[in-house]
């Protein structure tokens, strides 16, 4: 378990993290979302034991990260922002170095090295110096060192940054498979990632928690939640359809995207207008090109919650 109590980090006049308190339980994959400069990286650095908080405390698996640093650090796998490594080393010698510091030896060391090399597909670059590798490989070497000793807690700062879509898919699948009995905290500003891997999402801005929910819960806060979007085969009918849809009791208001020819009907409180709209469409004989219900848009929630904040 990660238990943060009243975390605060002050850099001169700037309060990077402002009285953050939260707990993360095993099995949770927590996604930190927030604009740049929101305090995500600083919070992760505090949990990993790299930055000391100005006030407050963090315990990881019952060990205080400041007073019992070694016990806490040995339970955390950490991918720092930018995945720093030693560029002159090869992935193999680098991973061996980390294994040694992690106290892995003998058969277990060999097994774990083989496993993570396989999981992150590093076989072909093992003997090449890290500085000559592509950004994607560098990131995967960083991930490999983080998961090397199969830690109880994984802190990953932007784990898929710089990866191509296939690699992103692989890494997300890897995080999901590893997360069963672990605590995983990732930071990202790729919102689709939250849906793909997280079962809990926290929006942070100016060092404060603005929202803390499941991804579905966050989407439910969107005004697009349960909204119905439709498109007519004949765009000329859109105005008439708009008037009919807007008149429904289940619909609070409508919006027309003239360029795309789409009409979106936002639900009245506690309503799901999909049934009513589809029935209306059948009754009136509208020819539809598209009709779907939206689950909510994370990016819109993100913008609303953070108020367009960025630093």
Partner 1 sequence: MNAAVAVLKRELQSYFLTPVAYVFIVIFLISANWLTFGVGLLYERGQADLGPFFTFHPWLFLFLVPALSMRLWAEERRSGSIELLMTLPLEPWQAVLGKFLAAWLFTALAIVLTFPIWLTINYLGNPDNGTILAAYIGSILMAGGFIAVGSCLSAITKNQVIAFVLSVIACFVLLAAGYPVVLDVFSPWLPPAIVDGIASLGFLTHFEDISKGVIDLRDLVYFGLLIGTCIYANTLILGIKQAD
Q: Which residue of 84, 134, 237, 292 would you call a contact of partner 1, by CB under 8 A?
A: 84
Residues 112-141 within binding reach of partner 1 (CB under 8 A): 129
Report the residue number, 98 or 276, with the smaller CB distance to partner 1: 98
Question: Of 36 and 237, which CB lies nearer to partner 1 in the complex structure?
Answer: 36
**Which C-beta is closer to partner 1: that of 153 or that of 203?**
153
In order of 24, 47, 175, 186, the CA distances from 172 in angstroms are: 19, 22, 5, 11
Closer of 100 and 123 to partner 1 (Cβ): 100
Nearest to residue 33, comparing CAs of 206, 197, 191, 224? 191
CA separation, residue 124 to residues 88, 115, 121, 184 (Å): 17, 14, 8, 28
147 binds partner 1 (CB under 8 A): no
Residue 103 binds partner 1, judged by CB under 8 A: yes
Q: CB 49 → partner 1: shortest distance, Å?
A: 6
Least separation in angstroms between residue 45's CB and partner 1 is: 7
Q: Are 85 and 142 in contact (CB under 8 A)?
A: yes
8 binds partner 1 (CB under 8 A): no
Q: Binding residue for partner 1 (CB under 8 A) from 6, 27, 62, 87?
A: 87
Q: Considering the complex, what minimum distance in angstroms separates the CB of residue 22 from partner 1?
A: 20
Burial label for 71, CB within 10 Å (0-12, 13-18, 19+), is: middle
Identify which of residues 44 and 232 has a Cβ nearer to partner 1 in the complex: 44
Judge contact between 202 and 217, C-beta under 8 A: no
Return the residue of 102, 140, 206, 225 that touches partner 1, per CB under 8 A. Answer: 102
Number of residues that bind partner 1 (CB under 8 A): 29
CB-nearer residue toward partner 1: 158 or 219: 158
Cα 179 to its chain centre, rounded Å, is: 13
Complex with partner 1: residue 11 or 169, whichever CB lies closer = 11
What is the pattern of x (binds partner 1, CB under 8 A) and - over residues 160-199?
----------------------------------------
Q: Could you say which residues in the range 21-80 bind partner 1, by CB under 8 A?
A: 45, 48-52, 70, 73-74, 76, 78, 80
**Residue with structure tokens 């208001």?**
253
Interface positions with partner 1 (CB under 8 A): 45, 48-52, 70, 73-74, 76, 78, 80-82, 84-89, 93, 97-98, 100-103, 129, 145
């Amino acid at each position: 378990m990660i238990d943060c109590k009243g975390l605060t980090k002050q850099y001169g006049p700037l309060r990077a993290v402002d009285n953050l308190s939260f707990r993360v339980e095993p099995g949770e994959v927590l996604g930190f979302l927030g604009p740049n400069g929101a305090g995500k990286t600083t919070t992760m650095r505090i949990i990993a034991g790299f930055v000391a908080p100005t006030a407050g405390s963090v315990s990881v698996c019952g060990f205080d990260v400041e007073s019992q640093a070694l016990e806490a650090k040995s339970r955390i796998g950490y991918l720092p922002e930018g995945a720093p490594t030693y560029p002159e080393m090869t992935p193999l010698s680098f991973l061996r170095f980390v294994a040694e510091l992690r106290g892995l030896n003998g058969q277990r060391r060999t097994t774990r090295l083989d496993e993570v090399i396989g999981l992150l597909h590093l076989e072909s670059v093992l003997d090449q110096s890290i500085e000559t590798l592509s950004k994607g490989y560098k990131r995967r070497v960083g991930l490999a060192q983080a998961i090397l000793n199969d830690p109880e807690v994984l802190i990953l700062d932007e784990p898929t940054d710089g990866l191509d879509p296939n690699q992103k898919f692989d890494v997300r699948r890897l995080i999901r498979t590893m997360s069963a009995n672990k605590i995983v905290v990732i930071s990202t500003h790729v919102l689709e990632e939250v849906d793909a891997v997280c079962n809990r999402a926290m929006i942070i801005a100016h060092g404060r928690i603005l929202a803390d929910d499941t991804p579905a819960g966050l989407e439910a806060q969107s005004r697009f939640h349960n909204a119905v979007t439709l498109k007519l085969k004949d765009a000329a009918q859109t105005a008439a359809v708009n008037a009919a849809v807007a008149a429904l009791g289940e619909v609070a208001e409508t919006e027309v995207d003239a360029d795309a020819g789409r009409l979106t009907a936002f639900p009245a409180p506690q309503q799901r207008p999909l049934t009513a709209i589809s029935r209306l469409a059948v009754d009136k004989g509208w020819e539809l090109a598209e009709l779907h219900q939206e689950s909510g848009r994370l990016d819109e929630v993100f913008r609303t919650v953070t108020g367009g904040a960025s630093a």
